Amino acid sequence: MTELKSTCWVAAIYIGVALLVSSANAEDKGEPFRPVVGKFPPLEEALSYRGELVFVDHANRRGSIRVQGEGTYFRNAPHPFAMLPYGIVRFHGAPADLRDIPLGTVLHFRAFLPPDPQTSAVPVLPVDSRKKNSGYSGAGIYPAENHILLLEDEPSYCQRTGQAWKLIGVDIKDNAGMIVASRETKADGDGQANEESMTFDAATRIWRGRECLGVEDLIAEGIWPAIGKKTLEGQSVLLGITWKPTPDGVFTRFHISDIWLDKTAMQRAARSQTETHKTFIRGRWMPAWVDAVEYGKFGRATVTATLFGGMDDSLYADFKKDVSAMMNGVENTLKHTGGNYGPAHMASRGSILEVTKADGEPPLGSSGIQIRLETDLIIEGIRPGRVVRIRPANWPQVNLPREEFIGDGSDPEDRFPTPAIFPKY
């Protein structure tokens, strides 16, 4: 009898453990992926979509886009998004801030579910939102994956993925009309890619070397006809894409804002944007993640931090062993904490003890560069998992505008902006 009891207990425990394990496995498989603090999420887990930039709140690194779905595009209400703290913006093939992108630009997104729904700066939606049908708008226009790892305009996307637009033909009247083109791999496009019709008009900018031309200039040079159709034989270009209202019956049709006819023209655009962003980052400091803090005595500490990625190389080159530096706590919006007297007033000061570069390709969002900074006065915001900003000594010491820093930190809304700003349609 005792033996039977023991056997029953063993069996019960075995079944219980088996059920527990299988339930845990199910959870592992069923739980949707969310980025976690301290880890850069793998790009392949991101949801991809594209759409028109409709609204920007650059100070809080968020905005709205009209996501391209299956239905009538004009009906799609602006969809709020927030940049992840390590999220990267690219414009004209160069690093950018949200403020650099003109409203109306069509962008490519790689996005995740909110890492921490409770503090999301944009509305939190059901995880299967992207599959839901929104009437005439179709499915896919309100993805719950609204926290962005990578946001890039069309030429940035094409250059990253090694693609270009091949122009098939143009149909023109009164300096406006339609271009048929296909986005193909630059090297060996086989002409099998999907053709897309896009509008252009007299405001479309055409970049050739240093020149900025209009459609009428191409006509004057006899390159495009004044009226009628012309085959363009797969001419390889890069396009800037926007959206404008379309006549009834057209579900989704994009508009060409810019055409870069050659490599020089695109490189010059990238150079200008790079310089804009370099000045921006030097003024706002390099964002990074705190990996570890070793505390010493009397406020002394050594902080290990990974610099965020996506910046121009020349900025990273300023992080050198033994240079003086400052480190300040920031929020997930990358807003500096504490004050009217500029970030330098509150930041921890110290020296960079070491700079290491990880082997291999770092995950998107990371630079792969880790620094160790020693300070004699560690401040509150610098803790493992928190975001900081760092200024090497050779960057200018400037004061930031009011909307780019947090007051005294006593207002939770300042630290964690709520989604209340976004209209409900």
Partner 1 sequence: MTQLKSTCWVLAIYLGLILLANTVKAQGEDEPFRPEAGKFPPLEKAHSYRGELVFVDHANRRGSIRVEGTGKFYRNDPHPFAMLPYGIVRYHGAPADLRDVPLGTVMHVQAFLPPEPKISSVPVLPVNNKDKDAGHYRGTGIFPAENHVQLLEDEPSFCLREGMVWKLKEVELQNNAGKILASREPKAGGDGSFKEEGLTFDAATRIWRGRERIRVADLVAEEAWPASGKKQLGGQAVLLGITWKPAPGDGLSGAFTQFHISDIWLDDESIEYADQFQTETHKSYIRSRWMPAWVDAVEYGKFGRATVTATLFGGMDSSLYKDFRKGVSAQMNGAENTLKHAAGHYGPSHVSSSGKILDITRATGDIPVGSSGLQIQFETDLIIEGVRPGRVVRVRPESWPKMQIPREEYLFENSPEDRFPTPDIFPKY
Beta carbon nearer to partner 1, 190 or 248: 248
Query: 45, 55, 235, 415: which one contacts partner 1 (CB under 8 A)?
Result: 55
Asked if 412 is part of the footprint of partner 1 (rule: CB under 8 A), the reply reads no
**Binding-residue pattern over the window 102 to 131 for partner 1, x denoting contact by CB under 8 A:** xxx---------------------------
The token duo for 253 is 């049709």
With contact defined as beta carbons under 8 Å apart, do 110 and 47 qualify? yes
Query: 128, 195, 221, 275: which one contacts partner 1 (CB under 8 A)?
Result: 275
Q: Which residues 75-94 are close enough to bind partner 1 by CB under 8 A?
A: 75-78
C-alpha 167/C-alpha 206 separation (Å) is 14
Q: Using CB under 8 A, which of the segments 101-109, 120-128, 295-303, 316-324 binds partner 1?
A: 101-109
Within 8 A by CB and 6+ apart from 211, the residues are 265
With contact defined as beta carbons under 8 Å apart, do 61 and 160 qualify? no
Asked if 399 is part of the footprint of partner 1 (rule: CB under 8 A), the reply reads yes
| Cβ count near 267 (within 10 Å) | 15
Asked if 212 is part of the footprint of partner 1 (rule: CB under 8 A), the reply reads yes
Asked if 415 is part of the footprint of partner 1 (rule: CB under 8 A), the reply reads no
C-alpha 288/C-alpha 163 separation (Å) is 31
Q: Using CB under 8 A, which of the segments 3-11, 347-355, 370-378, 401-409 binds partner 1?
A: 401-409
Within 8 A by CB and 6+ apart from 76, the residues are 51, 66, 67, 68, 69, 134, 137, 141
C-alpha 389/C-alpha 310 separation (Å) is 15
C-alpha 293/C-alpha 384 separation (Å) is 6
Query: 11, 37, 397, 408: which one contacts partner 1 (CB under 8 A)?
Result: 397
Beta carbon nearer to partner 1, 110 or 255: 255
By CB under 8 A, name the binding residues for partner 1.
Answer: 54-59, 66, 72, 74-78, 99-100, 102-104, 201-203, 205, 210-214, 217, 244-248, 268, 271-273, 275-276, 279, 283, 340, 342, 396-403, 407, 420-421, 423, 425
